[in-house]
Structure 1
Amino acid sequence: MATAVKLPQCRVCHTSYKYGGPAPHLLPCLHSVCQTCLDTDTADTLTCDICQETFNKEHTDFPPDVVVIKDIFHQTAENDGSAVLCTNRDDGNQAMSWCDECEAFFCEHCQASHENMKLTRSHAVVTLANLKSSDVEPTPKTVYCTEHADHPLLLYDETCEQRICFRCKENHSDCKVNDIATAFQHLKETVLEEGQKGLSKKIETIRAIKDQVHEVVKMSEVKEKERKEFLKHTFSELRNTLNQREEGLSLQLDQSFRAVYDINNSRLSKLEMEEAKCDTALGYCQKFAAMSSMDALFRARKTVVSRTNECITTELPQVRDTEAAVTLSRQDFTDLKQLISSFGGYYIPMDPQSESNPEGSTMNAMQTKINKLEADNMLHLQVIKNRDQQIEQLSTTMKSLEWVSSVAVHFLPASDAPFPVPLLCIHLKYDKDRVNLDSAHVNTEGDLVNRKSGTRPAGEGRLKKYCGTCSTAPLPRAGCPQYWEVLSRVSLDKPLTGDALILEVGVCSEEQRDVHHCIGEQQTSYSLDVVQCTTHGGICRRTLKGGKCVLCLPDTLPNTAGASHTLHYGVVYDDARKKIVFIDVKENKVMSTLDIVDSSQPLWPMFGVYNVTVSMTLVVGSDINMTEEKKAMIVKSLS
């Protein structure tokens, strides 16, 4: 029993092609689509199920797919002769032979008739049993000019990219024209071969990078096991004292290697996709050059070359040699073990009468050793205290990740640490119960606006001097950077004069939240103001620290009546580095970095709105669009 032939499929409707059925056409991705899908009116686009690329029918050229056509013909003729039916009369009889000139299969009866006819008696007929792919090559048909019906298209205009006859050549005097055979050979030997070489080189590059990625992953897996084994043996010796430290380092180590895995999985996915595209293009170019007729080659040339160039020029992800170089430090480990081994030693209290003992010199030497032991124990206690502080800081950081369910955690690359540093986009809220209702209120959309409230809800503890409000809670001691943003819409009803404030965002200590109408003049405060500046004669952005102006950036807004603008600022607070950073999100740059921030007492985020029409939205948590560029800015500002 003959084995069923698995013929190529339409990559849109998944229907297998058959000889004499709907013809395959070439998609721009170099996969095929059947004539039925092209003719259907139910959709304006075609989507390739392999590449997942979509093409518009009206604006895309779909030339005949000569590679698939030949593949269907060869597989049908060579692998399943019993399934090949006579195509001469479509009478359902099994085909016995193939006529190259008629391009038709013949059954036994049709073959006899074919041989008896005078016109076809001299045709070369091959039996299916002797039919080979190399023997089957349809004779090129003469194509005639549509304008000059008696003249064949024997020339090719490379400038206009079309076939022409000798009479048409008169109208193409400024073009580069060759005879069709020369142009055909040039196209096969130069354009297609160069494309194949470029694709082969690109595939080699992809595979080399894939090998690098696999090597990085392999090294990471080995190093991960080594480091975890290191943690296991190291902390087993100090389990009772350093258990929390081990758990914290294990979590950071997992996060570090997870970042490596995520990056490299993304690279592998992209590389495999690019490799598949290049493989498809290379395979098609090879078959296309070998199988296509002149007419088919010229019709599909633009599609094939376009896809080939697209595959070759696509940028590939690169791999750095240091990506798996995550290390753990054993600095001072030996000294720590020695200190611990000497901690808690016993000694016998000295008898005062023993001073007259002739062995007193020996006892004095023992006392010296005991004094040194006590000093070592004190040093040991200090080392343990330092370790406890580190453990407490790490514990605080981990707890801050659970501080509120809606916090968003991002990781910043750190050049001074073997693992990424967490950045917490905390979930701040305006404190509605503390808004100074004489100057502002929080509207139904949750925005802080500089208009008096129409209602006066009951409750004490409202700010009476500060023109705005604070957050509902102070900033947590997270031990890692925290970030939030404010998006403000500003409208000037009239030009401002003097040092008129427009808005303010910053932090201050609890006792200074309501000392003045703004926090910029307070001792323990750090803020960004938008203000009409008498120094520059316009509206400026001004950063202040402890009541003093640190930086004034002019030309923030035009000071003209009727002007409306949107201002978008971000605030980074890092209690570990004692820094506050103000970022202009719209301009994508750091405006100012304030160092030596006094965080001995909890700091409260503050939000002020003044003088003109201002509506300030608090952007926090997962609502923040944390781009890689923004991360890079934050890392640079904190370094």
Structure 2
Amino acid sequence: MATAVKLPQCRVCHTSYKYVGPDPQLLPCLHSVCQTCRDTDTADTLTCDICQETFDKEHTDFPPDVVVIKDIFHQTAENDGSAVLCTNKDDGNQAMSWCDECEAFLCEHCQASHEDMKITRSHAVVPLESLTSSDGEPTPKTVYCTKHADHPLQLYDETCEQRICFKCKENHSDCKVNDIATVCQHLKETVLEEGQKGLSKKIEIIRAIRDQVHEVVKMSEVKEEEGKEFLKHTFSELRNTLNQREEGVSLQLDQSFRAVYDINNSRLSKLEMEEVKCDTALGYCQKFAAMSSVDALFRARKTVVSRTNECITTELPQVRDTEAAVTLSRQEFTDLKQLISSFGGYYVPMDPQSESNPEGSTMNAMKTKINKLEADNMLHLQVIKNRDQQIEQLSSTMKSLECVSSVAVHFLPASDAPCPVPLLCIHLKYDKDRANLDRVHINTEGDLVNRKSDTRPAREGRLKKYHGSCSTAPLPRAGCPQYWEMKSRVSLDKPLSGDLLILEVGVCGEEQRDVHHCIDGQQSSYSLVVSRCNTHGGICSMTGKEGKGVLCLPDTLPNTAGASHTLHYGVVYDDTRKKIVFIDVKENKVMSTLDNVDSSQPLWPMFGVYMPLSGNVSMTLVVGSDINMTEVKKGMIIRALS
């Protein structure tokens, strides 16, 4: 029983070809289309279902697909030999063999006659079941000229790109004409062979890239598992940190309200006692006034009046409206949420142009593509490494928030870092024990003022020359920017002359703190000074670095008597970038950025107030969570540090 033949199909309508049917035709994508699809009038184009390429029927050449034609024959001969008939049409029997020299199929009778005839006895006859892909159909059929019916097309005009006969050659004298067999041989040995070599090389390159892609996928799978495990561990640590912080804040909340309850219970007890005293005195006074004995009134008058006055004048506990407003510090909450929401992202560093602009098929171009793929792989690994560092940095920041309750932390978006940069609003304090009380003092509100103290303890350890004070400790090497502010109120009793100082803020080394009445002009010092300027004739703001002036901004204040003004400055210190930035908070602008700051030794914040005979200066520190950190201020800081 013959086996069912699964013949090739048309790549447009999916109809299977038949051995005796119309020849398949070749699409430009080297897939085949049937004659029916080619000739149909319902569409002007043909679309290959494999390549999804569309071809215009009118402007595209569709030659016979000899490969599919031969495949159809061989599959038919192998699986349904009865369909292959003897070339002798008069015979009509099933073919049993093939003679390549005669280019004919032979039935059993024709094969016997073929072997008996002297002229064909030596021909190589191949049994039908033994045919190979190089045997049998399709053998080029003799094609005759349409103009000269008796002349076969045995020549090929390479100039006009068409087959011609010997008679047509007379009209193609100026063209390059060769025997068609020669042209075919040249086509096979040069064009097709070179194309095969090029395709073979291209396939090798494709396979090399495919191997690399598989390697990338394999590495990515490993990295993905490592990343999942690392993220799981990291976020577990973050959750533990948050849980611990929640417990600590909850304990602080309990303690804060317990303190409120204790204070108010004590107040209630005192109020109850005072109420009893007042009730007793009131009742006695009412009865005492009703007594008729004058002598008795005068004898007890002093005692009664004294007790009454004592009850009336006794101070009662005062309650402020804000005492019940125990609040959770939320200053850094939004920044922390934003950081967590953007933390841990990954991206694939592939070039989106690479697919839309494929490179040439030459070996060098493909090597370039392979090299680029390797570079992309390395970049991908670097991205993963950077994200790992980001995870570690976030974890470290979370832990630092847990233990630094007096520091407000904000986050600055930075393009040169794997994650936002923490900005520490540190909790500076004036060092009262070092303030130069011969020149300044710190009042009950905690402000530094330009008047000497009425009571001046021993000078041991105090600043003797500097007109102000320093902080209680030097700036820490935090590895990230630190920020603090000063708000100063200035009033002039009279216009200033010369180069009289008004105030100074800045940092300096430990040895420079008490060398002069100000740190401006000294080594290892970085300062902002407000003073009367001889150059501009008015009051200017001047910045200096290690003994040299950097910038002078005129018209800071009007040099007139009687007016009061407020100056609000911010200072950024970044020991990593080695920069100090002075900011005018009221004007929302960066005044000056000092680079190459020497942070090899600890730097001390310094605060000076001057001109006690010409006006009043009062300087308030704004630090920690008291700082209003706006988005505008963040933008100024990150631009100044970039």
Q: Normalising by structure 2, what TM-score?
A: 0.41
TM-score, normalising length: structure 1:
0.41
Q: Which has the larger radius of gyration?
A: 2
* Larger RCO, structure (CA 8 Å, separation 6 or more): 1
